[in-house]
């Protein structure tokens, strides 16, 4: 870069994968008890605590402002459950906006945290609260801890060629709820009012938790080779992250991917791709093909719909999506579609 040339500024959203890989490559690993550490495709760490494994994750809520306490608990609990562990303890850092924070706002956020933790059987262990200079909206950073027996840990490195890819519910529940709540003025007149009201309730129904489905799948046994909840970057990013630790490819069928009508309508109105929209509430599972029926049955018994959308393929075949029998590469987005929507005002 020549002197005086402006430095490249990265866009809002996840750090691009090439930059993240560079950062993670130089992290030391001194403690052998750290079984799963920071890497592409893994959202939680696993620590050997003797007769059990401690699973730890941390995730912020930065786009939503309404019900952020509920969002923070669920997205962190999901990251624990996809490893087969039960979420148990939650810690939260609450950063509140200067000149805009009232005691009632802080109380409302904490009530959301408390109620959601109670629903999941999680204990609030602590955290930090402050009014932060420079913020124009509240931001929550959550940390969830859980436990799993060593024999029940679900690791993505177990994925094998031929595994079927299952998807619960559909896409993109979280993104639909955020857009309906935060961009209602922009959508009003473009989207039917009843549809917009239903979409705003997606946070509650169908909801963004995958804990019950993930634990039901894990309880089937070792036939479940990997699980992942697609979040920022949507299903497209989630699929790439699912196979990244094992270094494999996959092929999914576009027509098999359930997209909620509310999601499709809102994304059409805002010119967004639903497959690249933040997608908490869906669960991806890689399962041995000869035992897929038992996993499907276990998940459906919890009241959660689930379908087969594709299969794991050799790395040489890449990560692809079939649309109307046409095979194309499925690439992760540079940034989530919700960042584009917020940039648009």
Q: d(Cα 237, Cα 14) in Å, to the nearest integer? A: 11
**116, containing H or E segment:** helix 103-120
How many other C-beta atoms are found inside a 10 Å radius of the C-beta of residue 72? 28
How is 196-220 classified by DSSP, letter by letter? HHHHHGGGTTTTS--HHHHHHHHTT
- What radius of gyration, in Å, describes the C-alpha atoms of the chain? 20
User: Rounded to 5 degrees, what angle do the CA atoms 113, 115, 118 make?
Assistant: 105
**pTM of the entire structure?**
0.90
CATH topology of domain 31-152: 60s Ribosomal Protein L30; Chain: A; (3.30.1330)
Residue 292 has, within 13 A of its CA and on its CB side, a CA count of 18
Given this model, what pLDDT does residue 317 score? 96
Residue ranges per domain, the chain? 31-152, 156-343
Domain at 156-343, CATH class: alpha beta
Q: d(Cα 334, Cα 17) in Å, to the nearest integer? A: 9
Q: d(Cα 165, Cα 291) in Å, to the nearest integer? A: 12
Give the 3-state secondary structure of residue 275: helix
Which tokens sit at 191? 């989207």
Which tokens sit at 250? 């996959």
How many other C-beta atoms are found inside a 10 Å radius of the C-beta of residue 177? 29
Given this model, what pLDDT does residue 8 score? 78
The stretches in the chain having pLDDT less than 70 are 1-5, 13, 344-345
Average pLDDT score, the chain? 92
Given this model, what pLDDT does residue 1 score? 47
Q: d(Cα 253, Cα 258) in Å, to the nearest integer? A: 11
Angle between helices 211-218 and 292-300 (to 10 degrees): 140
Residue written as tokens 């890449």? 318
Q: Please state, in angstroms and as integers, the Cα–Cα distance from residue 300 to each residue in 51, 68, 142, 163, 213, following that order.
A: 31, 28, 29, 19, 8
Q: Do the domains at 31-152 and 156-343 have one common CATH topology?
A: no
For 325, residues 6+ apart whose C-beta sits below 8 A from its C-beta are none
For 197, residues 6+ apart whose C-beta sits below 8 A from its C-beta are 180
């Amino acid at each position: 870069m020549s002197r005086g040339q402006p430095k490249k500024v990265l866009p809002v959203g996840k750090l691009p994968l090439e930059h993240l890989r560079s950062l993670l490559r130089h992290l030391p690993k001194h403690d052998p008890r750290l079984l799963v550490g920071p890497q592409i495709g893994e959202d939680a760490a696993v620590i050997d605590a003797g007769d059990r494994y401690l699973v730890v994750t941390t995730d912020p809520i930065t786009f939503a402002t309404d019900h952020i306490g509920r969002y923070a608990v669920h997205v962190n609990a999901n990251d624990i459950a996809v490893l087969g562990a039960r979420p148990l303890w939650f810690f939260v850092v609450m950063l509140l906006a200067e000149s805009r924070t009232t005691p009632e706002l802080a109380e409302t956020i904490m009530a959301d945290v408390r109620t959601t933790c109670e629903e999941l059987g999680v204990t609030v262990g602590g955290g930090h609260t402050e009014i932060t200079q420079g913020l124009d909206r509240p931001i929550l950073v959550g940390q969830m801890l859980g436990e799993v027996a060593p024999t029940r840990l679900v690791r993505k490195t177990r994925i094998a060629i031929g595994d079927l890819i299952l998807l619960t519910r559909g896409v993109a529940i979280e993104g639909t709820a955020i857009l309906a709540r935060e961009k209602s003025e922009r959508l009003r007149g473009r989207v039917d009012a009843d549809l917009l009201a239903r979409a705003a309730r997606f946070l509650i129904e169908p909801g963004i938790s995958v804990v019950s489905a993930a634990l039901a799948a894990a309880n089937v046994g070792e036939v479940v080779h990997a699980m992942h909840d697609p979040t920022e970057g949507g299903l497209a990013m989630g699929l790439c992250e699912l196979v990244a630790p094992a270094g494999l490819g996959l092929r999914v069928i576009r027509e098999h991917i359930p997209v909620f009508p509310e999601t499709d309508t809102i994304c059409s109105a805002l010119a967004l791709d639903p497959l690249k929209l933040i997608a908490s509430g869906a669960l991806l599972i890689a399962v041995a093909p000869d035992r897929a029926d038992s996993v499907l049955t276990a998940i459906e018994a919890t009241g959660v719909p689930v379908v087969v959308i594709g299969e794991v393929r050799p790395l040489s075949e890449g990560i692809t999506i079939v649309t109307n029998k046409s095979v194309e590469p499925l690439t992760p987005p540079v940034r989530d579609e919700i960042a584009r929507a917020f940039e648009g005002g």
